[in-house]
Chain A
């Protein structure tokens, strides 16, 4: 749905800026590959697993009143898997070696996630609509349709519910 060459360029740029990255993948929140640069890793499988992990992560942040999911960091013996929110419809998943500078990984991952989000949202929505945040009504509909929906799907009551409970 989005401009794939532009997404790929973003992924390549990211891998050039963080040399310890071993792979980068832009995927839709429901697990479809949008663009990938993941040598040695099967992108379709990674996108599907990312969507599954997101489903749990979003429910966890929601259940604990942490708001919208921004990122998900996994660390294995040999490295990291980091997933960053990228607008309303996409996520960015990065694979990195264990010796990566996590501070830099976060900085670059967040920036790239925001840019990819702009690209994907701009392609997915009507051209007149601002790319960052679609109307809450759309999100409610998406949540109802798909339990593993994106990083911003659970935010319809955003701010109001937790805030009133803590204040009262």
Chain B
């Protein structure tokens, strides 16, 4: 079991190509923890913006009558991948992990697998 800080550190350290990560509460849009990022890449802005992404997707699924849960969301930019993974269980409801990857260095399949593992061991 890892706490927020260790989980974020592990994400940044062990996932190849990771440049930033955040744990975000999408009921409020605020980040519980952030790591990495830069002056030009504010993870708190990303937290608020991606909260809207998740809320829109959840609403769309309700409209479509889909009963399934979102596991993760992948956003592909020309030079980055953004991975969003929703937390399940253990009081993690309403939270998501957000991971920024450098597309040149990252292995997407491996990153997704590792993020899943980090999410499973995360205790909030």
Contact = CB atoms under 8 A, between A and B. Distances in A.
Contacts, number: 29
B100 to A, nearest CB: 17
B45 interface: yes
The contact size tier of chain A is under 10
B88 interface: no
Nearest to A75: B28
Interface in B7-62: 24, 28-31, 44-45, 47-49, 51-52, 55
Contacts of B45: 107
B44 A104 contact: no
A102 interface: yes
Contacts of A101: 28-29, 48, 51-52, 55
A103 interface: yes
Contacts of B47: 103
Contacts of B24: 103
Interface in A81-118: 101-107
Contacts of A103: 24, 28-31, 44, 47-48, 51
B84 to A, nearest CB: 15
Interface of A: 101-107
Interface of B: 24, 28-31, 44-45, 47-49, 51-52, 55
Given A101-B55, A103-B24, A103-B29, 6 more contacts: A101-B48, A101-B51, A103-B28, A103-B31, A104-B52, A105-B29
20 contacts: A101-B28, A101-B29, A102-B30, A103-B24, A103-B28, A103-B29, A103-B30, A103-B31, A103-B48, A104-B29, A104-B48, A104-B49, A104-B51, A104-B52, A105-B29, A106-B30, A106-B48, A107-B44, A107-B45, A107-B48
